[in-house]
């Protein structure tokens, strides 16, 4: 059965427990937060143990397409959108500011 693995990046504290239990599936990114390397890297039992062993319950495993992903919170998404808007304004102002 294909598994869908989701990591809640707000909850992850980078303990590395997931790496211990399922090293072919998980890794830590440069920011110290868990990422999914390969949703099919380890057998389902090891991946489920990694999910259960996460001290902050940041890992969710369920049926679905084998597409591991990380989930940013709504607050992180707003911050990213705000950062993109600020970048646009730095490059020439907002659309409402233009007079052309």
Backbone phi, psi, residue 63, to 5°: -70, 150
Domain of 68 in residue numbering reads as 3-92
Q: Where are the alpha helices (DSSP H) in the chain?
A: 17-21, 44-53, 74-90
Residues 6+ apart with CB under 8 A from 23: 41, 42
Do the domain assignments include residue 19?
yes
CATH number at residue 70: 3.30.70.20
pLDDT string in tens for the chain (100-residue length): 678 999 999 999 999 999 999 999 999 999 999 999 999 999 999 999 999 999 999 999 998 765 444 544 444 455 555 555 544 455 555 445 445 4
Asked if residue 82 is part of any domain, the answer here is yes
* pTM as predicted: 0.65
Residue 6: both structure tokens together: 């989701």
* Closest-CA residue to 43 (of 61, 16, 17, 69): 61
Please report whether residue 40 resides in a domain: yes
Q: Is residue 100 part of a domain?
A: no
Per the structure, the count of domains in the chain is 1
């Amino acid at each position: 059965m294909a598994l869908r693995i989701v990591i809640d990046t707000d909850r992850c504290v980078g303990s590395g427990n997931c790496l211990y239990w399922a090293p072919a599936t998980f890794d830590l990114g440069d920011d110290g937060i868990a990422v999914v390397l390969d949703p099919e890297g380890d057998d389902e039992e090891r991946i489920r143990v990694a999910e259960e062993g996460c001290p902050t319950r940041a890992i969710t495993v369920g049926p679905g397409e084998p597409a591991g992903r990380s989930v940013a919170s709504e607050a992180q998404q707003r911050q990213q959108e705000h950062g993109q808007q600020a970048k646009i304004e730095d490059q020439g102002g907002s659309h409402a500011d233009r007079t052309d």
